[in-house]
Structure 1
Amino acid sequence: MKRLFTLLAAVLISTTAFSQAKKEAVHIYNPQANAKADLAAAVSKAAKENKHVLVQVGGNWCTWCIAFHNLVDSTATLKKYINDNFETVLVNYSPENKNEAVLADLGYPQRFGFPVFVVLDGKGKVLHIENSAYLETDEVGANGKKKLGHDVKKINSFLKGWTSAAISPKTYETKAK
Structure 2
Amino acid sequence: MKKLIILLTAVLISTTAFSQAKKEGVHIYNPQADAKAEIAAAVAKAAKENKHVLLQVGGNWCSWCIAFHNLVDSTATLKKYINDNFETVLVNYSPENKNETVLASLGYPQRFGFPVFLILDGKGKVLHIENSSYLETDELAANGKKKVGHDVKKITSFLKGWTTTAVNPETYKPKAK
Please report the TM-score for the alignment, with normalisation by the length of structure 1. Answer: 0.92
Q: Secondary structure at the match of 2:47?
A: helix
Q: Post-superposition shift, 1:148?
A: 0.4
Name the counterpart of 2:21. 23
| Count of aligned positions | 173
| 1:14-57 superposed Cα distances (whole Å, 9 cap, x missing partner) | 42551342333211000000000000000000000000000000
Residue 97 to residue 9, structure 1, CA distance change in 2 (3 Å) = closer
Q: Residues 66-95 of structure 1, C-alpha deviation per residue, up to 9 Å, x if partnerless?
A: 000000000000000000000000000011
Q: Which amino acid aligns with 2:73?
A: D
Match of 1:137 in 2: 137
Query: Structure 2: 5+ residue runs without aligned partners?
Result: none
2:63 aligned with 1:67: no
Aligned to 1:41: 41
Provide the aligned C-alpha RMSD in A.
1.6
Distance in 1, Cα, partners of 2:13 & 2:33: 35
SS of alignment partner, residue 23 of structure 1? helix
Within 5 Å, give how 1:51-66 maps onto structure 2: 51-66=51-66
Which secondary structure does the structure 2 equivalent of 1:148 belong to?
coil
Q: Given residue 136 of structure 1, which amino acid in structure 2 is its aligned partner?
A: E
Query: Which secondary structure does the structure 2 equivalent of 1:140 belong to?
Result: coil
**Equivalent AA in structure 2 for residue 39 of structure 1:** I
Which runs of structure 2 are paired with 1:107-122 in the superposition (5 Å)? 107-122=107-122
Are 1:89 and 2:85 an aligned pair? no
Counterpart residue number, 1:174: 174
Q: Deviations over 1:100-131 (max 9, x none)?
A: 11001111100000000000000000000000
Task: Select the structure of larger CA radius of gyration.
Answer: 1
Report the counterpart of residue 32 of structure 2 in structure 1: 32
**Sequence identity (%):** 77
Deviation for aligned residue 1:175 = 1.4
C-alpha separation between the residues in 1 aligned to 2:144 and 2:45? 46
In structure 1, list runs of 5 or more residues that go unmatched. Answer: none
Which amino acid in structure 2 is aligned with residue 18 of structure 1? Answer: S
Per the alignment, residue 50 of structure 2 pairs with 50
- In 2: Cα distance, 1:74 partner to 1:62 partner: 18
- Distance in 1 (CA, whole Å) between partners of 2:76 and 2:158 is 17
Give how far 1:11 is off: 3.4
